[in-house]
Amino acid sequence: GAVVSQHPSWVICKSGTSVKIECRSLDFQATTMFWYRQFPKQSLMLMATSNEGSKATYEQGVEKDKFLINHASLTLSTLTVTSAHPEDSSFYICSARGSGALGLMNTEAFFGQGTRLTVV
Protein backbone atom coordinates (compact mmCIF):
# COMPACT_ATOMS: atom_id res chain seq x y z
CA GLY A 1 0.00 0.00 0.00
CA ALA A 2 0.89 3.66 -0.10
CA VAL A 3 3.44 4.94 2.38
CA VAL A 4 2.85 7.88 4.66
CA SER A 5 5.71 8.92 6.89
CA GLN A 6 5.31 11.05 9.98
CA HIS A 7 8.11 12.65 11.92
CA PRO A 8 9.02 12.77 14.73
CA SER A 9 7.63 9.64 16.36
CA TRP A 10 7.80 11.25 19.74
CA VAL A 11 8.79 14.62 21.11
CA ILE A 12 9.11 16.19 24.53
CA CYS A 13 9.04 19.96 24.70
CA LYS A 14 8.89 22.66 27.32
CA SER A 15 5.70 24.55 27.98
CA GLY A 16 5.50 27.69 25.85
CA THR A 17 7.58 26.39 22.98
CA SER A 18 6.34 25.35 19.53
CA VAL A 19 6.60 21.93 17.97
CA LYS A 20 6.38 21.03 14.29
CA ILE A 21 5.19 17.63 13.09
CA GLU A 22 5.70 16.55 9.49
CA CYS A 23 3.55 14.24 7.41
CA ARG A 24 4.90 13.07 4.07
CA SER A 25 3.44 10.90 1.35
CA LEU A 26 6.41 8.96 0.00
CA ASP A 27 5.09 7.28 -3.11
CA PHE A 28 2.03 9.24 -4.16
CA GLN A 29 0.82 12.80 -4.40
CA ALA A 30 -1.43 13.65 -1.50
CA THR A 31 -3.87 16.36 -2.46
CA THR A 32 -5.56 16.09 0.91
CA MET A 33 -4.12 15.36 4.33
CA PHE A 34 -5.96 14.87 7.56
CA TRP A 35 -4.71 15.59 11.06
CA TYR A 36 -6.10 13.71 14.03
CA ARG A 37 -5.62 13.80 17.75
CA GLN A 38 -6.09 10.76 19.95
CA PHE A 39 -6.38 10.76 23.72
CA PRO A 40 -5.45 7.58 25.64
CA LYS A 41 -7.91 4.75 25.14
CA GLN A 42 -10.12 6.86 22.90
CA SER A 43 -10.92 7.04 19.25
CA LEU A 44 -9.44 9.42 16.71
CA MET A 45 -10.67 12.99 16.66
CA LEU A 46 -10.33 14.84 13.37
CA MET A 47 -8.68 18.20 13.91
CA ALA A 48 -8.41 19.56 10.40
CA THR A 49 -8.32 18.76 6.72
CA SER A 50 -5.67 20.35 4.55
CA ASN A 51 -5.71 20.61 0.80
CA GLU A 52 -2.51 21.35 -1.08
CA GLY A 53 -2.11 25.03 -1.74
CA SER A 54 -5.08 26.22 0.26
CA LYS A 55 -5.99 26.97 3.84
CA ALA A 56 -6.83 24.11 6.15
CA THR A 57 -10.39 23.46 7.22
CA TYR A 58 -10.58 23.08 10.98
CA GLU A 59 -13.17 21.09 12.88
CA GLN A 60 -15.37 22.84 15.36
CA GLY A 61 -13.60 23.53 18.62
CA VAL A 62 -10.06 23.27 17.24
CA GLU A 63 -8.05 26.46 17.66
CA LYS A 64 -6.56 27.32 14.30
CA ASP A 65 -4.08 29.75 15.83
CA LYS A 66 -2.76 27.08 18.14
CA PHE A 67 -2.61 24.25 15.62
CA LEU A 68 -1.10 25.71 12.47
CA ILE A 69 -1.35 23.51 9.42
CA ASN A 70 0.58 24.03 6.22
CA HIS A 71 0.22 21.92 3.09
CA ALA A 72 2.64 23.60 0.76
CA SER A 73 3.38 20.67 -1.52
CA LEU A 74 1.72 17.51 -2.76
CA THR A 75 3.91 15.39 -0.53
CA LEU A 76 4.21 17.37 2.70
CA SER A 77 1.89 18.75 5.31
CA THR A 78 3.01 20.11 8.67
CA LEU A 79 1.22 20.63 11.95
CA THR A 80 2.74 23.16 14.32
CA VAL A 81 1.56 23.21 17.90
CA THR A 82 2.27 26.77 18.98
CA SER A 83 2.93 27.84 22.56
CA ALA A 84 2.42 24.27 23.72
CA HIS A 85 0.94 23.56 27.12
CA PRO A 86 0.69 20.31 29.08
CA GLU A 87 -2.93 19.89 27.98
CA ASP A 88 -1.68 19.67 24.39
CA SER A 89 0.12 16.46 25.27
CA SER A 90 -1.43 13.79 23.10
CA PHE A 91 -0.95 11.43 20.18
CA TYR A 92 -1.17 13.19 16.82
CA ILE A 93 -1.53 11.23 13.62
CA CYS A 94 -1.97 12.16 9.98
CA SER A 95 -3.44 10.43 6.98
CA ALA A 96 -3.16 11.26 3.30
CA ARG A 97 -5.35 10.88 0.27
CA GLY A 98 -4.35 11.06 -3.37
CA SER A 99 -6.53 12.04 -6.27
CA GLY A 100 -6.98 11.02 -9.85
CA ALA A 101 -5.86 7.54 -8.97
CA LEU A 102 -7.79 4.37 -8.80
CA GLY A 103 -8.22 2.16 -5.83
CA LEU A 104 -7.14 2.84 -2.32
CA MET A 105 -4.91 5.79 -3.24
CA ASN A 106 -8.09 7.78 -3.60
CA THR A 107 -9.22 6.92 -0.11
CA GLU A 108 -8.20 7.84 3.38
CA ALA A 109 -6.66 4.46 3.98
CA PHE A 110 -3.08 5.33 4.81
CA PHE A 111 -1.74 6.82 7.98
CA GLY A 112 1.55 8.01 9.29
CA GLN A 113 3.10 6.35 12.31
CA GLY A 114 1.86 9.03 14.68
CA THR A 115 3.65 11.46 16.99
CA ARG A 116 3.46 11.25 20.75
CA LEU A 117 3.80 14.78 22.12
CA THR A 118 4.60 15.40 25.76
CA VAL A 119 4.68 18.98 27.02
CA VAL A 120 6.45 19.45 30.34
Partner 1 sequence: AQKITQTQPGMFVQEKEAVTLDCTYDTSDQSYGLFWYKQPSSGEMIFLIYQGSYDEQNATEGRYSLNFQKARKSANLVISASQLGDSAMYFCAMRERDAGNNRKLIWGLGTSLAVNP
By CB under 8 A, name the binding residues for partner 1: 1, 32, 34, 38, 42-44, 46, 49, 57, 91, 93, 95, 97, 104, 107-114, 116
CB of 120 to partner 1, least distance (A): 20
Closest separation in Å from C-beta 113 to partner 1: 5
CB of 16 to partner 1, least distance (A): 26
- Shortest distance, position 108 Cβ to partner 1, whole Å: 5
Radius of gyration of the chain (CA): 14
Note whether 4 and 95 are within 8 A (CB). yes
Q: Which of 26, 22, 24, 27 is nearest to 11 (CA)?
A: 22
Q: How far apart are CA 89 and CA 70, in angstroms?
A: 21
Nearer to partner 1, 28 or 110 (CB): 110
Residue 29 or 49: the one with the smaller Cβ distance to partner 1 is 49
Of 119, 120, 113, 118, nearest to 22 (Cα)? 113
